[in-house]
Amino acid sequence: MATILGIESTCDETAAAVVTDGRTVRSSVVASQVDLHQVYRGVVPEIASRAHIENILPVIEQALKQANIALADVDAIAAAQRPGLIGSLLIGVTAAKTLAWSLDKPLVGVDHVQAHLYSVMLDKPGQTAAADTARHRVPLPAIGLVCSGGHTALYHVRSWTDVELIGQTIDDAVGEAYDKVAAILGLPYPGGRPIDELAAEGDPQAIRFPRSTLDADSLDFSFSGLKTAVLYRVRGHKGRERDASSLSPQELRDVCAGFQQACIDVLRLKLRRAIARYGARAVVIGGGVSANRGLRAAMASFERPVFFPPMAYCTDNAAMIGGLADVLLNEGRTADLSMDAITFSAIGAR
């Protein structure tokens, strides 16, 4: 039973976590940089790397303290090694390499996208499961969907470390579409949660936005047309006639509900196509958009069992890194000090 210190710094969250046995999360600390990037309505890479440098050591210290464990008692050090912003990745990777070398502990490099898929296996915060729960018995192979601000991709998950990319967005990620639609609507950044909340009070049938499904057998996604349709609907011809302030509160809620329904319908349709092609036994959904309440409700009845991560581990976090690192460690897949930060995923996602 290994206890692993996981480190995550692929994008704009600096995070550290202590995870035992790949599932019990003893601490999970996330320093969000949302305040720094909000004004730009997107992540500015240079600002992100600087903030990681400032945050990394305090975040690691806090994670150890909250788990009530000394560095010397950790069995391995893991870091998200790919994919991400190179300047951001380097901070976490360098911290992990330094700790592993100075403590003479095994080093594990984790693929962030694979970790989002694995996050469905983590116990809820504060839960220490002695017995297996349904969560620990995800029947594999599964179809995996990673939907976040940076990724929207489908995977054939044969095991947690044997994952094949089978479809991906050809333009915007679904979380990116949420963030851009929020900007059109004058809502805060990041836009997923505010839209989710307004959508819950709107009528998803009131406005029918287009669903881009691409070719009849395609497992790829496209969300940019949907985003433009919202722009024209809200701002009129060429997106220049009026702005979101002309919407009534109910119209605003209906736009959110209609947009969200279009996203959900597309995700569900592509999952169905993937299941039909690969014959999977379950569906696992991770990444920031997996926190969406509308999506969770829509997937409550589906032709295969559907697994979501605990809410705390949908957006970027280090618990999923420490968790998947346990599986890699058990498979003997440790790294050495030549481990590099890499901008693209090992499993080929955009």
**Footprint of Zn ion (CB under 5 A):** 148, 316
Q: Looking at 128-136, 174-182, 205-213, 270-278, which segment touches ligand KG4 (CB under 6 A)?
A: 174-182
Q: Does the protein bind ligand KG4 through residue 111 (CB under 6 A)?
A: no
Q: Which of 31, 121, 157, 289 binds ligand KG4 (CB under 6 A)?
A: 289
CA distance 161 to 171: 27
Say whether 171 sits in a helix, a strand or coil.
coil
Q: Does the protein bind ligand KG4 through residue 275 (CB under 6 A)?
A: no
Selection from Zn ion, ligand KG4, none that 3 binds (CB < 5 to 8 A by kind) is none
Least distance to ligand KG4 from the beta carbon of 226, Å? 14
The contacts of residue 57 (CB under 8 Å, 6+ apart) are 95
Q: Does the protein bind ligand KG4 through residue 292 (CB under 6 A)?
A: yes
DSSP state of 137: G
Exposure b/e, 71-106, CB count within 10 A at least 16 = b: eeebebbbbbbbbbbebbbbbbbbbbbebbeeeebb
Q: Is 238 exposed, middle or buried (0-12, 13-18, 19+ CB in 10 A)?
A: exposed
Please work out the total of residues on this chain that contact ligand KG4, with binding judged by CB under 6 A.
19
Least distance to Zn ion from the beta carbon of 288, Å? 6
Least distance to ligand KG4 from the beta carbon of 13, Å? 7
The contacts of residue 137 (CB under 8 Å, 6+ apart) are none
Least distance to ligand KG4 from the beta carbon of 166, Å? 19
Stretch 114-153: interaction string toward ligand KG4, x if CB under 6 A: ----------------------------------xxx---
Query: Which of 255, 134, 284, 133 is CA-nearest to residue 195?
Result: 255
Q: Does the protein bind ligand KG4 through residue 254 (CB under 6 A)?
A: no
Residues engaged in binding ligand KG4 (CB under 6 A): 11, 148-150, 175, 178-179, 190-193, 196, 287-289, 291-292, 315-316
